[in-house]
Structure 1
Amino acid sequence: MSELIERLGEGLPEDGVLTDPDVLRTYAHDMAGFCPAGAPAAVVLPRTVEEVQHTLRTAHAFRVPVVPQGARTGLSGAANAIDGCLVLSLVRMNRILEINPVDRVAVVEPGVVNATLSRAVNEQGLFYPPDPSSWEECTIGGNIGTASGGLCCVKYGVTAEYVLGLDVVLADGRLLSTGRRTAKGVAGYDLTRLFVGSEGSLGVVVRATLALKAEPPQQLALAAEFPSTDAACDAVCRIMEAGHTPALLELMDTTTVRAVNDMTKMGLPESTQALLLAAFDTPEPSGPLRAVGELCEAAGASQVVPAENAAESELLLQARRSALVALDQVKGTTMIDDVCVPRSRLAEMLRGTAAIAEKHGLTIGVCAHAGDGNTHPTVCFDASDEDESRRAHASFDEIMALGLELGGTITGEHGVGVLKKAWLAEELGPLALGLHRGIKQVFDPEGILNPGKVF
């Protein structure tokens, strides 16, 4: 191991290789703290592409596993260390290299924080739509690794739809460029899309060319209270069936609303069984926002409250962004499911989740990107209570199974990591899983890139 550290030091500055055990522990896992995590041999903090290449060449020569990391805001254990690995943290590669208003692209390093990029392009009248709830902390490299989504996906789509090209360091240190910066391009296989969502298992992204849009008007939102989740889901179906394309359409059940109130003191209506938030890119409260309000009332909403201005709208969105953090404080530990189902079966998903919570005697709050059918059932439990932990794991698996039964997928945006490996095999089946492993073998024949993750 000392020889490995010495070799790393030949191509990295002194502060670029960390070996202090106390420091290493802080890099051991992402926000899915209940997932298994090992003790890394070292943490490498490169600032340049060349330093990443040196790290991968060295790891390849020593056959040492490498775990790429961003801000460690992930929720599936994809960034968790394994014993004896090199953690390759890319947070110091945080430069925005270019913003081009004509081509409508940005070129960035992987450590750029999502919100930092969003604000930078806003200053030039442009818009980078993917906005995960952790956008103030998560990095673009991590967003690409997990193919993350966000609140605006229902209208603008997910990260994969905005990644035009990548520079990727492969397992043996070679530098691969994929994709393009043109608006169109179909030359060859789409290797760019292959890397998006691969969770660091095929290569290490060191530069990304991202598509931008013209900045839309500020959003105006409304909040609709419902006497049941069934009624709220009926409203979602009515809104989509009527042809509306809201900028966001988010749902919080009563458990989530109460958790957010406990943490933020926002005063959200706790009498509601489901709170639906809808927003449109519009400077006026009339038109589609009013029509959506009427559809909510037709579905049984007990109250519909439109925001009067952008500031009120932002408060509503902050409530939704706070949901997962708030639920984490209910019992101290959460297991966050990420099941996406067809919109038409959203009510069945929420109803089934409530039955699972009752069966196991657990608190399970649900927040959802309702316009996408992407639910986040969040199992709240005391990790120090062995029986409660067992019931939490059982309920998590039952929610996964329910999602697949309803024609859904085990992850809409959080990725697989170590949390959902068994369920990925269930969803894909033997043939598709074998092809995945074959692709992994092509890019990483020695198996050093994020081993033990995904499958």
Structure 2
Amino acid sequence: MRDESTTAALTERLGRELPAGRLLTDPAATAGYAHDEAEWAPYGAPLAVVRPRTAAEVQRVVRACRDHGVPIVTRGAGTGLSGGANAVDGCVVLSTETMTTIKEIDALERLAVVEPGVVNDHLRAACAERGLWYPPDPASAPWSTIGGNVATNAGGLCCVKYGVTRDYVLGLEFVTGTGELVRVGRRTAKGVAGYDLTALMVGSEGTLGVITEVTVRLRPRRLPEHTVAGYFSSTVDAGRAVAAVGAAGLTPSALELVDRHCLAAVDAWKNMGLSTEADVVLLGRTDAPGPAGEEEAEAMRRCFAEAGATYAVRSTDQQEADALFEARRLAYPALERLGPVLTEDVCVPKAAVPEMLGRIDAIAARHETLIANIAHAGDGNLHPLLITPPGDEAARKRAQAAFHEIIAEALALGGTVTGEHGVGLLKRDGLESELGPEVLALNRAIKDALDPQHLFNPGKVVARGAGR
């Protein structure tokens, strides 16, 4: 336990060095910053929350915490699902919520420079005004921030064709564990000078530095999409359709799976009338231009039908098509209304999607746990959602056992423990199984180099077992 004199000295220094309103120490105020949305992930009580507005203020916070040996947990919007932003007792939570400036949108170079607290959808809207597009689109895009997206290498619905956050981050400004403000990356179309420290920072979950600025690549505004919907009697049949789409050489701009549990939850909440029509819905889109788009949509529809769809159609009603994708985005908050939701994030090769979905069904039955399925199925990123009745301790234990079994099965099929949510607290055991001791040692050496005092996000990702 940190002694009271250290705590008092730190908060006094932060209060002196930061402008008014940046520092929160009242437990009633700091409690709201203690954890993200990860169900059952442990969290502690921060001694303070700081809300800097400039990179210089971030530096002051890091240097003060360095001098007093106090850990720092960086937090964006708190929409994470792995416990990556959860506080530890006696830490300082550094919230980037007020660093919300879009500094530049350059139409010629097709890039934007933003502060980490900029909300994903706000950046996308600002880019659209210039005829440009920022592709990464996690389901949390209306609330999640660019800094948080960078921290977890977030993906989203269109990443099957356009890639994830790492594919769009050109450069970063961040504060290191020694309190230095550094820039890495570039603004040019090409560049191979030095090690790729930008890519290293993306997905590091706040364990290597505090990001204060992000330069992202943009694309031209996308073309209108054609939507294909397929109804299936099982997740395994839908998984076969996913594999068939890949085998046919098609690259959809989205390929999403939503099962009957999700559809029923959305219907109960929004009364959209979807759950009466199918047990599983597979939603595909293509944005290929002109006749090629028509041909790709029809080829996708055939893949659905040949894989066992009970109904497969190219949508001619844009409003109906948009409603189906809106239901996909609403699935998680709709399920939260039923009880605590433990969210998985495994990713497997596309060929293994049918088998993995079948194994998830078997795990649900074996552990007597309700598991709803949504998925970025086109790239094998599955999000089984384990739902338990509120206050049912036995159900919670069964769900947690099922959670770890799903991870083990994904690894057995050549997959990974996390596609886009991050390791955080919930996936540390799985990470050790996936990487092995030699690669973990390399990761910990990087952590030691950039954060020698292990101030940043202690206990998360590879910090476990580092002897700190």
TM-score, length basis structure 1 = 0.97
Q: Secondary structure at the match of 1:15?
A: coil
Counterpart in 1 of 2:229?
Answer: 223
Counterpart in 1 of 2:126?
Answer: 120
Counterpart in 2 of 1:249?
Answer: 255
Query: Which shows bigger deviation, 269-278 or 144-153?
Result: 269-278
The answer to whether 1:291 aligns with 2:306 is no
> Which residue identity is paired with 1:316?
L
Contact 1:32 1:75 in 2 (8 A): yes
Counterpart in 2 of 1:16?
Answer: 22
- Which of 63, 72, 90 does residue 69 from structure 2 map onto? 63
Contact 1:219 1:313 in 2 (8 A): no
What are the ranges of 5 or more consecutive residues in structure 2 without an aligned counterpart? 1-6, 463-468
- Which of 409, 425, 433 does residue 432 from structure 2 map onto? 425
The answer to whether 1:333 aligns with 2:340 is yes
Q: Secondary structure at the match of 1:395?
A: helix
Contact 2:209 2:450 in 1 (8 A): yes
The ranges of structure 1 where at least 4 consecutive aligned residues each deviate by more than 4 angstroms after the TM superposition are 282-285
> Which residue identity is paired with 1:272?
A
Q: Distance in 1 between matches of 2:261 and 2:317?
A: 27
Counterpart in 2 of 1:342?
Answer: 349
Q: Distance in 2 between matches of 1:166 and 1:99?
A: 15
Show the 5 A alignment for 1:247-326: 247-281=253-287, 286-326=294-334
Q: Distance in 2 between matches of 1:269 and 1:109?
A: 41
- Which of 110, 115, 118 does residue 109 from structure 1 map onto? 115
Q: Distance in 2 between matches of 1:235 and 1:389?
A: 33
- Which of 379, 385, 389 does residue 392 from structure 2 map onto? 385
Contact 1:220 1:283 in 2 (8 A): no
> What is the identity percentage for the equivalent residue pairs of Structure 1 and Structure 2?
49
CA drift of 1:389 comes to 1.1
**In the TM superposition, what whole-angstrom CA distance separates every residue of 1:283-326 from its partner, at most 9, and x where no partner exists?**
77732112211221121211123332443332121111111122
Q: Secondary structure at the match of 2:371?
A: strand
Counterpart in 2 of 1:446?
Answer: 453
Counterpart in 2 of 1:403?
Answer: 410
CA drift of 1:279 comes to 0.8
Counterpart in 2 of 1:92?
Answer: 98
Q: Distance in 2 between matches of 1:214 and 1:382?
A: 46
Q: Distance in 2 between matches of 1:429 and 1:298?
A: 40
Q: Distance in 1 between matches of 2:185 and 2:319?
A: 39
Q: Distance in 1 between matches of 2:226 and 2:271?
A: 22
Q: Distance in 1 between matches of 2:11 and 2:282?
A: 53
> Which residue identity is paired with 2:251?
T
Query: Which shows bigger deviation, 122-131 or 8-17?
Result: 8-17
RMSD between superposed Cα atoms in Å = 1.3
Q: Distance in 2 between matches of 1:271 and 1:217?
A: 30
**In the TM superposition, what whole-angstrom CA distance separates every residue of 1:50-91 from its partner, at most 9, and x where no partner exists?**
000000010000010000000000000000011000000001
Q: Secondary structure at the match of 2:188?
A: coil
**In the TM superposition, what whole-angstrom CA distance separates every residue of 1:367-404 from its partner, at most 9, and x where no partner exists?**
11110000001110135222111111101011111100
> Which residue identity is paired with 1:291?
A
Contact 2:22 2:51 in 1 (8 A): yes
Contact 2:72 2:456 in 1 (8 A): yes
Q: Secondary structure at the match of 1:10?
A: helix
Q: Secondary structure at the match of 1:235?
A: helix
Contact 1:24 1:43 in 2 (8 A): yes
Contact 1:166 1:178 in 2 (8 A): yes
> Which residue identity is paired with 2:252?
P
What are the ranges of 5 or more consecutive residues in structure 1 without an aligned counterpart? none
In the superposition, relative to structure 1, how do residues 16 and 33 fare at CA in structure 2: closer, same or farther (>3 Å)?
farther
Q: Distance in 2 between matches of 1:411 and 1:231?
A: 24
Q: Distance in 2 between matches of 1:90 and 1:228?
A: 43
CA drift of 1:219 comes to 2.2
Contact 2:360 2:406 in 1 (8 A): yes
Contact 2:39 2:342 in 1 (8 A): no
Q: Distance in 2 between matches of 1:139 and 1:371?
A: 24
The answer to whether 1:171 aligns with 2:166 is no
CA drift of 1:104 comes to 0.4
Q: Secondary structure at the match of 2:171?
A: strand
Q: Distance in 1 between matches of 2:150 and 2:362?
A: 35
Counterpart in 2 of 1:160?
Answer: 166
Q: Distance in 1 between matches of 2:39 and 2:57?
A: 29
CA drift of 1:282 comes to 5.4
Counterpart in 2 of 1:212?
Answer: 218
The answer to whether 1:141 aligns with 2:147 is yes
CA drift of 1:273 comes to 2.6
Contact 1:219 1:310 in 2 (8 A): no
Contact 1:44 1:89 in 2 (8 A): yes
> Which residue identity is paired with 1:387?
A
Contact 1:218 1:310 in 2 (8 A): no
TM-score, length basis structure 2 = 0.95
> Which residue identity is paired with 1:294?
R
> Which residue identity is paired with 2:27?
P
**In the TM superposition, what whole-angstrom CA distance separates every residue of 1:241-272 from its partner, at most 9, and x where no partner exists?**
11111110001122222222222211114352
> Which residue identity is paired with 1:10?
R
> Which residue identity is paired with 1:104?
R
